[in-house]
Structure 1
Amino acid sequence: MFQIKDNVIKISVRNLVEFILKSGDLDNRRVTGRDTEAMREGSKLHRKIQKRMGSEYHPEVPLSIIIPLDFKEEEVDLLIEGRADGIIYNENKIELQDSEEDMIVLTQVGPIKSSSEKEMEGQDQIQISNKDIEVIKSNEDIDNIDDNIVDHFMFDEFEKLSSNEDEEKPNVIIDEIKGVYFDVNFLEEPIKVHKAQVMCYAYMYAVKHKLDKIGIRLTYSNIETENMKYFNETLEFVELEQWFVEVINEYKKWAAWQYQWRLQRDASIEKLEFPFEYRPGQKDLVTGVYKTIIRDKKLFIEAPTGVGKTISTIFPTLKAMGAEKTSKIFYLTAKTITRTVAEDTYRLLVAKGLRIKVVTITAKDKICVLDKPDCNPVTCERAKGHFDRVNDAVFDLLWNEHDISRELIEQYALKHMVCPFEMSLDITNWADSVICDYNYVFDPNVYLRRFFQDEKKNDYVFLIDEAHNLVERAREMYSASLFKDDILAVKKIMKPLSKNLEKRFEACNQDLLKLKRECENYKVIDNIGDFVIHLMRLLTDYEEYTKEHSNFEGSDKALEIYFDIRHFINMYEWMDDKYIIYNDYDEERGFRIKLLCMDPSNNLLTFLEKGRSTVFFSATLLPIHYYKEQLGGKEEDYAIYAPSPFDTNKRLLMIGNDVSTKYTRRNENEYVKIVNYIENLVMQRTGNYLVFFPSYSYMQQIYSLFTERDIDKSYEVILQKTNMTEMQREEFLEQFEENGTITKIGFCVLGGVFSEGIDLTNDRLIGVIIVGTGLPMVCNERELFREYYDRTKNAGFDYAYLYVGMNKVLQSAGRVIRTSDDTGVILLLDERFMNTQYKNLFPREWYPHEVVNVDKMKFGVQDFWNRT
């Protein structure tokens, strides 16, 4: 929300007005334009408008004001900064002075009657851009539009502005330009926060130049048509001053709270000590993280389970926060369990004296008060007037609570009758650390725009847990698909409702039909420009339609395809040489067109560079060059391998080299061998075991053999099911009890929910068997990856299959040794593990290991348990 440095609180004009003046309902029924990430086209139009305004128009004028705030005995200044899109000077104009960028300093607030200039020597000023244009990417190149169109609208409206002789014209007019996708003729008055923004600039300017009155103008321009509409008003300084003082007084309580909280937080960080005795190599890890943040770099950490990655990254980052190197920590995870570990780590430090506000973002569908999220005032009473009440709800919680849990958010959301999910997002503005899924930072559809939509670099630190997951997740985030049958289905929905929209959907359907006729299996495509233009026209018309028709039969399906198309267009705009476009057939949904992100590094960098520093960490980042390359690392970024703290004598690793899971060897003979391995291993000691298989079908084959064999079984087999709920997963894991009287064997799938991120410590798990090398199934997409990386890296198999598969194996093997007290066995079943390309990916702690057959394995396991 704002930054504090050297007793100066800094906030942009935009953030100030959007925060204080937000109001109204939550309403998902109307689409409000394409993704605001696509500011580029609007910025072109923005600059074009400024360029054509003539000599009376001064563009991009920075304005600032300093307001002393009375925080008991502390001398604190509030610095409000921004950049007026334009200042218009009429005949009796005030000349723009060289000192235009100087700060305006107010000696008092409420009422404000005097101003003077104050030098800010020795203070490290942060200039915050205020190019606040709410735009999305256009289907046209603005630079190629006929200039006469812009000239006509621009100067026609400017003439109107100056032609009213019955009204005394203000000498100075502050202009705010907004690029939009909707038809500007629908606007009957300026949008409230836009007007507030220009009023702030007008006040700043009027104070500096001691004006009795000043003009404001809101310039709205449609990005696609360049049609324009103006709203003009002349404000008396006395009224403007009264309004501004009310805004500042409303904001003062927030500034006061944040300032006092920061003092408490930093004082507690200064006293904070590392809560454990350092393990071997752990102190170097902590030091490495701190130095990385200080030097504005990225760090890649491969650290085996038990090293203490979470505390070793959070602790030094907090120390950097206390040294004013970062104002916010984002702890990013892929799974719920790792989020819980981060929360527990913060609680541990709080118990040691840390004062910190941490919020975890819970997914909307999990925290919503409805059975299914439907955010509008008709279906949810909390959506009605949500924005009128949410600030009070957030302040109430921040003032009265320390540990911001999900339960507390739900409690205060109920008290103030607001949406708990949206409230949690607002709390992130004030929290010191945010724990959330990757997508809240990197996904172009749901990322936290309040932190990342501006171009400026911030001092955020990103701690990315289980970073190996981010490669595949990022590829998914930055890819996009459209299915022909979905387009056709929504066309039928719209047919009786809008002939125009039916026509738009039909044009897109015909484009896909043409591509389908040319595609037998899959086909890579070079150019889809016409199709994208048709999609853009469809979006524009759909947005116009929903202004008047938000609810209609089939609207859910129509809205779903709208968002799919919007994402497709956004990703098309992001495309570079790290993408391909192809068609193929999905088994369930039919013919599709897909924008496939082959390498997500450039896209990830777009977001990573919004922060100061990033620390990637995982137990499996091998080979490190692959992850550095795919996750946006640079040559100068650091990498650390943390040694394992475990005693290798408490772990037995074996490779069964007389079996194979290759497709050509999948037969009953191989299945029987694998059953023999599993039975002979688990019969050596009563306990809990997990067996990971390459697929559900393979798992079922082995399970069938287990149930058919007529032997005295002293064990129970528990199967992972597809699409398990969170409760079902918990029930599955609860069956693995410590000190059980019967052996339990969990049959799971490699790469599934139980292959990483779960902690079955001590005797809750004493052995893991991994059947196969984890290679992904051969499919069109994997083959496209292989072809791409054969062409670009001469390593297609490694990039498309090997690295992905071995990461699953390493993660699954990591389930058995979780703490220094754990003892267990790991058995790898596939002859390919003996190949050099696989062994090169073995971590250091996998040495030594033994190559076995069934008999050798049985005696080796007996000996291991006897001596441990």
Structure 2
Amino acid sequence: MPSLIYIAVRTLVEYVYRSGSIDVGFRTTSTMAEGTKAHHKIQRTYGEQDQKEVHLYTEIACDEYVFGIEGRCDGLLVQDGQLTIDEIKSTAKDIDLITPDAFPVHWAQAKCYAYMYAKEHQVDKMRIQLTYVQVDTEQQKRFVQEVEYGELEQWIMDLLRRYAPYADLLYQHRCSRNKSIERLSFPFDAYRAGQRRLAGAVYRTIEEGVSLYVKAPTGIGKTISTIFPAIKAIGQGLLEHLFYLTAKTITRTAAEDAFVHLRTNGLVVHSVTLTAKEKVCFQAEMSCRKEDCPYADGYYDRLNGGMLDMLSQETLMTRPVIEHYAQKHRLCPFELSLDAAYAADVVIGDYNYIFDPRVSLKRMLAERRNQTALLVDEAHNLVDRAREMFSSTLVKSTFLALQREFKTRSVEIYQSSKAINDYFVRFRKLSEDKYRVEKERPEELVALVETFVFQAERQLASSGGAEPSPLLLDTYFAAQSFVRIGKLFDEKYVAYAEIDRSEVRLRLFCLDPSYLLTQMGKGFRSHIYFSATLSPISYYRDMLGAGEGDYSLSLATPFSADQLEVSVLPVSTRYHDRERTKERVAQLLQQLVENRQGNYLFFFPSYAYMNLVYKTFVEEERPDVDVIVQQVDMTEEERERYLTAFQAENGRTLVGFAVMGGIFSEGIDLVGDRLTGVVVVGVGLPQLGLERDILRDYFNGIGKRGYDYAYVYPGMNKVLQAGGRLIRSEQDRGILVLVDDRYLQGHYRSLLPEEWRDYTVLNVRD
């Protein structure tokens, strides 16, 4: 019996007919919204017998497969007894430039609908109409064909045969994948303590189609314990796809390593790692215009060959693999990774590909979402990342600069920029303080920015391939984001302004991202949020949008108590006491390295505080101690040199000064004797500031512990992450020193992991 392959009309015709270069034209959010309005306006002109949004499905046998094709046509018109399929396409371009043969993919989409309807209703002849509408002018242009059923049948068989090699590759891979999963065993000799429990919880959560919030301490093996059961769920038909989402490159590498282990154990899956466009671009200066980039020029003419080559030869498509095939087939590596992601079983990438409304994978259909699970690693990072995704900022000076640049170049850009600059001038004159916080959306400003976005789009779209003004382009994207976020503005937002002399910075600030995270993640079968520091778990459930039916799981450390020696030095590290206590802190650090040779990491809440203690620490020369210091904005090479310095066989003591919440306090593994001790100075509280105070007041106002939500919980998370660098395996031993008198308070002590609470209280002489 032939195998059944389901495919959407749009996916089918785009694979066969899409051609040409990567389009970097400005079909933006507002343009798309106008396009939707244009669709609806045309559909409202349909007659009583006409139908709109007609769902169509058919099954077609082609060689050894049966294709189940599904789609929804814009209109089915009845005119003088004839049936017409109407396919509506909106455009921001000059409609007079559109010719009948300009977009073969549009004809192909309409022909599919015509064949599907004619087959079901036994119609001998169909009319096909392409209706183009210009979103600015609402000008319309129509092209019509009349096609016999036999011609449609012959055409669609040719279409399917052209798609068949790709369909066959995916089908054969799916069979191999499922067989390999059936035989797959856990890739290590034994489960660590807590590991089997975590894996079982992940599988049951996917099975039930709910979400899971997991606090899984360092050393349990969170990555493999979440990936393995999710892969097993694919084998059982519960899932077809899996996203492994992270905030940092190093945790993406851990996921890739887990799939290497599973592949060694027999697993066959297609996994794709998504890397930011600016990191993988082959050009010295990134420009996606076909005139500037040979990898963008003619991209779709070469894409199918490149995809078939890569998917038939590779399973784990990491950044080097993507770059290899991109060079081989002269394809943009970023776009190739995105196209491969839609075909893959597993996608490894940043949070923003799912949760950020600006860059999420838009082409993922609803039916694919309900076959997909999200594994969200280091989920504690998602709270602040989501606030940033759902917030937006405008700055007065950029509009003043645009006003000056376009004064003689474009009256529309000049006037719309001037209107926004004038708004900010009035705003500044009416504001008596340096800060201003409003609970209402700034309606007048949003309207002015919408006008600017409209004019900027027209200017950019009419550039005729010329290089656009960098200032206009950057400001356009910022304004577009502002309009988008303005539509989300509700009681969980504030608009606040910072005024510094002539400058005004106005921000639409998301206070609680839980609802929007839920909306962006809607439709996925299951979400698994996990972190070693998802504590207190009630706070993260609240901030990440947990529902009543979702599960929580807290696991104990898999390591023995004698592996970790914890001490507390109760001195004040509060901002106003730092100068006074810096010598006591430095003395502790000095005594620590004198008493035991090894490698140490000293973590501080800020660069300023770190440098203050560092200067005191190095006043006394120690020829047998090497000191390295984290710098702001270190390159990848500088970071690698910093970490490489931590070697077990150094023969000398090494001290690394670093910052909590920075690149060395999360996700790094310095196992065995590569790390002897960690000192965490302070309780990690974010610096007092306007945003944190706004958060505190908001959560106080809705009956929650505002200071904890704004300051304590985020701060202590940094402490737990920094201290978690120390014990990474069953063989590790180490010293952890917490420097702050607040660790003796019941509230802060309760936020420490169980294995840290049996601490020794130090005096400096100890």
| 48-57 or 219-228, which deviates more | 219-228
1:458 to partner: Cα distance: 2.4
CA distance in structure 1 between the partners assigned to 2:743 and 2:2 by the alignment: 58
Aligned twin of 2:494: 580
Cα displacement (A) at 1:728:
0.8
Query: Where in structure 2 are the equivalents of 1:43-62 lying within 5 Å?
Result: 43=36, 46-47=39-40, 49-62=42-55
Deviates more, 1:477-486 or 1:191-200: 191-200
1:557 aligns with 2:471: yes
Q: If the length of structure 2 is used for normalisation, what is the TM-score?
A: 0.95
Find the counterpart in structure 2 of residue 518 from structure 1: 430
Task: Give the Cα separation in 2 of the matches to 1:535 and 1:545.
Answer: 15
Alpha-carbon deviation of 1:181?
5.2
Contact 2:223–2:254 (CA under 8 A) maintained in structure 1: yes
Change (3 A) 1:45 1:290: same
- CA RMSD, aligned part only? 2.2
Cross-structure match for 1:33: 28
Distance 1:550 1:727 in 2: 41
Find the aligned partners of 2:148 and 2:217 in 1 and give their Cα distance: 67
> 2:67 corresponds to which letter in structure 1?
L
**Contact persistence 1:444–1:477 (CA under 8 A):** yes
The question of 1:753 aligning with 2:663 is answered yes
Aligned to 2:67: 78
Letter in 2 for 1:294: E
- CA distance change for structure 1 residues 311 and 66 in 2, over 3 Å: closer, same or farther? same
Q: Could you tell me which residue of structure 2 aligns to residue 697 of structure 1?
A: 608
Distance 1:184 1:447, change over 3 A: same
User: Is 2:5 the counterpart of 1:9?
Assistant: yes
The one of 289, 305, 325 equivalent to 1:412 is 325
* Per-residue deviation, residues 166-201 of structure 1 (Å, max 9, x unmatched): xxxxx0011123455566566455744333222210
Match of 2:376 among 453, 464, 468: 464
Answer yes or no: is 1:630 the counterpart of 2:550.
no
Could you tell me which of 379, 391, 395 is aligned with 1:483?
395
Q: Tell me, what secondary structure is at the counterpart of 1:280?
A: coil
Residue 556 of structure 2 is aligned with which of 643, 647, 650? 643
- What does 1:422-433 correspond to in 2, within 5 Å? 422-433=335-346
Counting matched residue pairs gives 762
Choose 41-50 or 599-608, whichever is displaced more: 41-50
Which of 236, 250, 260 is matched with 2:162 structurally? 250
**Separation in 2 of the partners of 1:840 and 1:230?**
70
Amino acid at match of 1:721: Q
Task: Name the residue aligned to 2:305.
Answer: 392
Deviations 1:708-758 (A, max 9, x none): 23x545312111000001111001111111121111110011111111111
Contact 2:270–2:314 under 8 Å retained in 1: no
2:14 paired with 1:18: yes
Give the equivalent residue in structure 2 for 1:302.
Answer: 215
Distance 2:673 2:312 in 1: 44
Query: Using a 3 Å threshold, how does the CA distance of structure 1 residues 843 and 227 change in structure 2: closer, same or farther?
Result: farther
Q: Is the 8 A contact 1:516 1:591 kept in 2?
A: yes
**Would you say 1:785 and 2:699 are equivalent positions?**
no
The aligned amino acid for 2:557 is S
Select the residue among 421, 434, 447 that pairs with 1:533.
Answer: 447
1:672 aligns with 2:592: no
Q: Distance between the aligned counterparts of 2:468 and 2:209, measured in 1?
A: 50
Residues 366 and 405 (structure 1 numbering): CA distance in 2 closer, same or farther, change over 3 Å? same
Look up the SS of the partner of 2:735 in the other structure.
strand
Per the alignment, residue 592 of structure 2 pairs with: 681
Q: Using the alignment, how far apart are the partners of 1:739 and 1:35 within structure 2?
A: 60
* Worse overlay, 699-708 or 433-442: 699-708
- Using the TM superposition, give the Cα deviation of residue 260 of structure 1 relative to its aligned residue in structure 2, in angstroms: 0.9
CA–CA separation in structure 1 for the residues paired with 2:680 and 2:563: 19
Equivalent pair of 1:493/1:554 in contact (CA under 8 Å): no
Deviation at 1:446, TM superposition (A): 1.5
Task: Tell me the TM-score normalised to structure 1 length.
Answer: 0.84
Alignment partner of 1:722 out of 632, 641, 649 = 632
Distance across 2 between alignment mates of 1:16 and 1:444: 26
- The residue correspondences of 1:355-370 to structure 2 (distance < 5 A) are 355-370=268-283
Does the Cα contact within 8 Å between 2:357 and 2:520 map onto a contact in 1? no
Supply the distance in 2 between the matched residues of 1:235 and 1:586 (Cα, whole angstroms).
Answer: 67
Q: Note the C-alpha offset of 1:558.
A: 1.2
1:742 equivalent among 652, 664, 668 = 652
> Is the CA contact (8 Å cut-off) linking 2:568 and 2:739 kept in structure 1?
yes
Q: Report the alpha carbon displacement of residue 43 of structure 1 after superposing the two structures with TM.
A: 4.9
CA pair 553-226 structure 1, distance change in 2 beyond 3 A: closer
- Counterpart secondary structure, 1:673: helix
SS of the aligned residue for 2:338 comes to helix
Aligned residues of 2:55 and 2:71 also touching (Cα < 8 A): yes
Partner of 1:278: 191
The answer to whether the 8 A contact 2:685-2:715 is kept is: yes
Cα separation, partners in 2 of 1:207 and 1:567, compared to 1, 3 Å: same
Matches of 1:274 and 1:9 in 2, distance apart?
Answer: 31
| 1:377/1:178 CA distance change after superposition, 3 Å | closer
Aligned residue identity for 1:78: F
- Gap regions ≥5 residues in structure 2: none
1:57: how far off?
1.0
Q: Structure 1: how far apart are the matches of 2:123 and 2:157?
A: 17
Q: Secondary structure at the match of 1:429?
A: helix
Q: Percent identity?
A: 42
Alignment of 1:762 onto 2:751: no
Contact 2:441 2:489 in 1 (8 A): no
Range with greater deviation from structure 2 (685-694 or 533-542): 533-542
Structure 1 pair 851–550 and aligned structure 2 pair: CA distance change class (3 A): farther
Kindly indicate whether the alpha-carbon contact (under 8 Å) linking 1:651 and 1:825 is maintained by their aligned counterparts in 2.
Answer: yes
What's the CA shift for 1:236?
A: 3.7
Deviations 1:201-237, CA, capped at 9 Å, x for gaps? 0121223334343112233445676554433333344
Matched, 1:569 2:483: yes
Shift of 1:35: 6.4
Pair 350,647 (structure 1): closer, same or farther in 2 beyond 3 Å: same
Gaps of 5+ in 1: 93-170, 857-868
Provide the secondary structure at the position in 1 that maps to 2:126: strand
